[in-house]
């Protein structure tokens, strides 16, 4: 059975989308990755382009809130991983997890800035 992973970032527009897509592509036999955000925005075109170069198409992905994922109750996540700063991650809710497989909430040690379009 695949372990379910949720990646969370602030807008669910780049960092969490990239992380979920890469995990699904590289380890899809073992994991089922999803992504969500605290305050979803629009899908970041730089993220779409970067993944397209790797043969991964996320152009049809929609952004979603962490709370929508939680309310749907469709998934019990083995891992919830934040890919944002510690202060941003404080807004993340607690998710029900499979106690047998529970490892914990992972947070990055450093802030991972979201990619932006620079003119």
Catalytic residue annotation: 9, 84, 92
Burial of 79 (0-12, 13-18, 19+ CB in 10 A): buried
How far apart CA 87 and CA 90 sit, in angstroms, is 5
Token pair of 92 as six digits: 């993340």
CB 109 within 8 A of CB 83: no
SS3 41: coil
Sign of CA dihedral 83, 42, 71, 33: negative
């Amino acid at each position: 059975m695949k372990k379910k992973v949720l990646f969370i970032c602030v807008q669910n527009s780049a960092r969490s989308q990239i992380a979920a897509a890469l995990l699904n592509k590289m380890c899809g036999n073992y994991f089922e990755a999803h992504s969500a955000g605290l305050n979803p925005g629009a899908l970041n075109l730089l993220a779409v382009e970067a993944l397209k170069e790797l043969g991964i198409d996320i152009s049809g992905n929609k952004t979603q809130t962490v709370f929508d994922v939680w309310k749907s109750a469709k998934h019990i996540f083995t891992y919830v991983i934040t890919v944002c700063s510690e202060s941003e991650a404080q807004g993340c809710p607690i998710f029900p997890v499979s106690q047998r497989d529970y490892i914990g909430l992972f947070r990055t040690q450093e802030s991972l800035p979201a990619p932006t379009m620079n003119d």
